[in-house]
Structure 1
């Protein structure tokens, strides 16, 4: 699960509600008909930050130039808007032919089950996508009925994602604090910052998912790659329980921080995106979030990025992450010509040339850069690339917890504010996650 970002060309809230309620004809507002013209390719993406959108527009123009007569009809949506409208639009026949779709049971899994996405395995073979990205990464787009991580492949991503620890070096230097090498050192640093009157963590919990990423990232930093099977089983729907000591301890720690003054004052009324902007402006010493903010973070040269330090004894800690929403072909690609054009478009979006364009814009590509590529790497991106290499080499790329069931994101979002405010216990928070998961497993039998 990626973040929710600033949007462009998004319907006002009252129009969105009306469109969802009326469906049918109102869905024309959601996107251009795939059948508008034979040489139109209706595409939805979630690249709604200014820097991201500029890269997509550049790549679209290049694709059109290489395919005379083809016009990309682009619609950009935030993560949350995409989640709300995509399945409904495709079902009604007025959605995109090519789209970004969130992996996991709630989105990709549900659309595969309803026959709304087409397998891309033929294009993996045709274009050798399996040479550009590892099998473990491609497995995040596989479904076989209710089984996640196996079976046919329904997408491929253009960007890598890692949830890690952003830090403001100037704030740390002014406080006399060195970068933590272990989780125990991080905890001590947070105490020192609080004693000096500095907000240890930037946080915003009114909208988006910073708290979810924090809880998941802390938990997974305590899991060695050699012991990842239990987490993999949970995410891929093979069974298990979220009710573990590690999850409870992570929730307990985050609740302690929220209640004990470790978060930026007024965080409850600040959105995740606004919290990031405050961090960029120099507020807060640390922020736990993902590499998708590299483009904005580069505007403050004091900001660095690192993996969340592991506790002593963990040599290959997991990092939450994976890839951004996958490029997929919908069932609205009715004929082979349209499907092949869609496959060709996706191939360009995950090409080495596209990877270089993303790197030049300071975003972390999932496809490896060409040997002769010479992108202008920022310090943040250089750190991200090295982390990506290490995580893949160690098989230490973790998971977004919300991928584990169709309703898990809502369950977490509904209960996170209660956890942070102290209205529920950490045990109750984890229990809500596990009840959601067990109900999902029961429904698959």
Structure 2
């Protein structure tokens, strides 16, 4: 999946958001009909792509029940869409009369920023102030909610509302490690030693998907292992010129290609999708999976046959991560007032607490209400990452269409069809073209 004109410092997002929630906001009191008159015989069409067993899927399902209970006569027409489906068709659909009233959409310059620049999303600034979203969300969470006239995140008008946090981590099958006689690694050296030992025992250690977002996030994680915050700001915020043959991306491309050669990543991964990756880990077929917190709740629900844990990527101070995806209201929404009410409900303490106890990272929960031990671990790791200014967004964010560029480039590293230098040239081209287009 994808993912800024503010200061470089990223605050301790979850901790600040949880504290802010204690101050109270209008989000606990959704209106019965919004500002659009009678709610009688109306339908709110909602799209999102969260799995039913995920933390977000559970929370949004409960939010739909809450919404219908508080809006007599209104029905929610939920249409489940795939991440890739929305990613590729949103611009066309939102410019038609088939646009939903509210939808989940990927945050960042290349996605929500592009749609805002094209006039396809509603300006939520007035609602954010009126309903207290601007108070409930910490400044760093607001980064992905706001976009300027160029579609660059971090300042300008509100075009979306994030209501969870997310980050990329390492998931470990503890039983597989125990069987192999390997300790769960705490340093990068221990991590690569574990990869090597598994590979020498003819076990492919890393579960990933090169056909979609997972593999490119490993590539970016490796770049971040050699990066400082200034490099992230240059790449993501256009604060200078990114050298694609500098030490960060060069190390990432060479190391990723080397991991494939050593058998740490299967060549078959080039054709694997994210869902297949997750199902393989749930089935105990791999000892390691490097991916996002969005899998956490599903793993809690579905992994029954082995013990598992997670940690931040060993040795890294930064990782792909940010606020979660956004609720956006298409400009052609026929029921904007109801859409705003639904967003309010997803920001209520009841829904946020459910999100936190289901394996998600809430932004406006009551900290004392998060009782699940694994959920506490998830949120504590997020707090650690964000407190060290470690949220580095996602590699596909900077330019429109860059998601597909990243997928293709990493697939070429897996296939060995291009050298690392050739792949970096391919990544540089569209990025620099977009830089020129926005006048930087």
Contact 1:2 1:324 in 2 (8 A): no
Q: Who is 1:105 aligned against?
A: 109
Please show how residues 223-238 of structure 1 align to structure 2 within 5 Å.
223=227, 227-238=228-239
Contact 2:2 2:396 in 1 (8 A): no
For the residues of structure 1 that align with 2:271 and 2:336, how far apart are their CA atoms?
45
Contact 2:146 2:157 in 1 (8 A): yes
Q: Alignment partner for residue 46 of structure 1, among 43, 49, 73?
A: 49
Q: Who is 1:202 aligned against?
A: 207
Q: Deviations over 1:207-262 (max 9, x none)?
A: 32221111112222433xxx313312322344421512111111111111112211
Summarize the Cα distance change of 1:285–1:136 in structure 2 as closer, same or farther, 3 Å threshold. Answer: same
Where do 5+ consecutive residues of structure 1 fail to align?
4-35, 312-316
Q: Who is 2:348 aligned against?
A: 351
Equivalent residue pairs, number: 398
Q: Who is 1:57 aligned against?
A: 61
Summarize the Cα distance change of 1:141–1:239 in structure 2 as closer, same or farther, 3 Å threshold. Answer: farther
Q: Who is 1:165 aligned against?
A: 170
Contact 1:264 1:284 in 2 (8 A): no
1:371 Cα deviation after fit: 4.3
Q: Who is 1:439 aligned against?
A: 433
Please say if 1:156 is aligned against 2:157: no
Summarize the Cα distance change of 1:270–1:102 in structure 2 as closer, same or farther, 3 Å threshold. Answer: closer
The range that moved more, 88-97 or 248-257, is: 88-97
1:409 Cα deviation after fit: 0.6
Contact 2:370 2:376 in 1 (8 A): no
TM-score by length of 1: 0.83
Please say if 1:191 is aligned against 2:196: yes
TM-score by length of 2: 0.84
Contact 1:208 1:273 in 2 (8 A): no
Please say if 1:241 is aligned against 2:242: yes
Partner SS, residue 222 of structure 1: coil
Contact 1:230 1:240 in 2 (8 A): no
Partner SS, residue 118 of structure 1: coil
For the residues of structure 2 that align with 1:57 and 1:425, how far apart are their CA atoms?
46
Q: Deviations over 1:64-98 (max 9, x none)?
A: 10121222222121111112232212211221121
Q: Who is 2:331 aligned against?
A: 331
Q: Alignment partner for residue 79 of structure 1, among 83, 87, 112?
A: 83
Q: Deviations over 1:162-201 (max 9, x none)?
A: 1011111111122222222221221122122222333221
Q: Who is 1:139 aligned against?
A: 143
1:102 Cα deviation after fit: 1.3
Where do 5+ consecutive residues of structure 2 fail to align?
4-38
- For the aligned residue pairs, the C-alpha RMSD in angstroms reads 2.3
Partner SS, residue 342 of structure 2: helix
For the residues of structure 1 that align with 2:297 and 2:366, how far apart are their CA atoms?
21
